[in-house]
Amino acid sequence: MAKSSSISGMRKLVVAATLTVFTCSQGLLMEASKVRGKYPYNSAVVPLLSELVKLILSILLLRRARARDPAGTIMTTDVKSVMLFPIPSIIYVMHNNVQFYTMAYVDAATYQILGNLKIVTTGILFRFALGRLMTRTQWIALLLLTVGATVSQISGCKGETLSAPMAGYALGVLSACLSATAGVYTEFLLKKNNDNLYWQNVQLYAFGVVFNGLRLTWDDFFGENSGGNWLFDCTNGFTAITWLIVINFSFSGLFVSWLQKFADTIVKVYATSSAMLLTALLSVSFFGLEPSLQLFLGITIACCSLVLYFMPPDLPKEKGMGVLPVTSGGGVNGDGNTSGSAYGGGATPRGGGSGGDKLN
């Protein structure tokens, strides 16, 4: 079991907030990197390069950790354990393909709205695959986050959205399930033992590099512009902004794996959903878009959801009937009620007691 209880809630909050800022600038950078509405570079190369950067950084961090504390840097190296690490990459490959087919059935707005389903599917897997307990209020909070994200994306005029054939919706649901599975499975991998996070990352990103490389090779043979060789021209069209995107992707990924090890996938979901709303808000000033009532309402709903999910419920205080926070069991979060940090509460090690979870 990971030693997550030794990480303070404030630190989790800082990492989650940093992830939000990084995810948010991702959207803005990608928008800014377009030339006449198109990417002037091979956009499939960006994830490969960022996997590579993450792999190199993780190797360096792992070396430093081993030099400092050889005994404390636990590394499980038997094949049975290592062979679990390509699974997230394989799920992502499947996910990419399902996304591709979904796009064939639904328009872009509907596609974006269907993407929010992953919030609910992540909650369901979090509960039933990882066995983590959630209160009714937390279920409602996740439902509200989904609704809030959807509200912000309503483009408005009637008949424009949600008029796709059933196959499109089915694929959208499948896509949400795969996305949730990848997230929850990664959390399971990172928390299943006390292995050093950097060692776990090295395994994850090594397979990530391999699968992304395979994908580019596949594109060279069977893709639209087949016949080239990505190894020789992969950074064609790159500008300073493109490299910033690569660096941004890399650090976002490292923050996500840190959160999945020491907090949980739901914290990640909140960070990325907040980023989506923040991006929409910043786009208003950056790209001169009109602020919509929908966006304002969506942000309000997401804020309500955040408070409901992470703040402990307010209990009656008078008459001296102090209600003690239940902090027994493995699921102690060191800070829950005191720091009042918005992100601090959701973090409990996998399989730990459910006391801390239920209180938040």
Chain residues binding a copy of itself by CB under 8 A are 113, 135-137, 140, 143-144, 147, 150-151, 154-159, 161-162, 290, 292-294, 297, 300-301, 304, 307-308, 311, 313-319, 321, 323-324, 326, 328, 354-355, 358-359
Least separation in angstroms between CB 107 and a copy of itself: 13
C-beta closer to a copy of itself: residue 9 or 356: 356
C-beta closer to a copy of itself: residue 102 or 116: 116
C-beta closer to a copy of itself: residue 55 or 119: 119
Least separation in angstroms between CB 324 and a copy of itself: 7
Least separation in angstroms between CB 153 and a copy of itself: 10
C-beta closer to a copy of itself: residue 19 or 306: 306
C-beta closer to a copy of itself: residue 84 or 289: 289
Least separation in angstroms between CB 71 and a copy of itself: 35
The values of phi and psi at residue 261, to 5°, are -80, -45
Least separation in angstroms between CB 67 and a copy of itself: 43
C-beta closer to a copy of itself: residue 186 or 274: 274
C-beta closer to a copy of itself: residue 278 or 359: 359
Least separation in angstroms between CB 284 and a copy of itself: 12
Closest CA to 75 of 66, 83, 67: 66
Least separation in angstroms between CB 94 and a copy of itself: 28
Which residues touch 263 (CB under 8 Å, ≥6 apart)?
Answer: 4, 7, 12, 15, 16, 343, 346, 347
Least separation in angstroms between CB 102 and a copy of itself: 18
C-beta closer to a copy of itself: residue 253 or 336: 336
Q: Rounded CA gap, 202 and 156, in Å?
A: 45
Q: Rounded CA gap, 215 and 225, in Å?
A: 14
Nearest-10 Cα torsion for 117, 119, 121, 122: 160
Q: Rounded CA gap, 115 and 358, in Å?
A: 28
Q: Rounded CA gap, 54 and 356, in Å?
A: 32
C-beta closer to a copy of itself: residue 157 or 240: 157
Least separation in angstroms between CB 293 and a copy of itself: 5
C-beta closer to a copy of itself: residue 130 or 162: 162
Least separation in angstroms between CB 268 and a copy of itself: 22
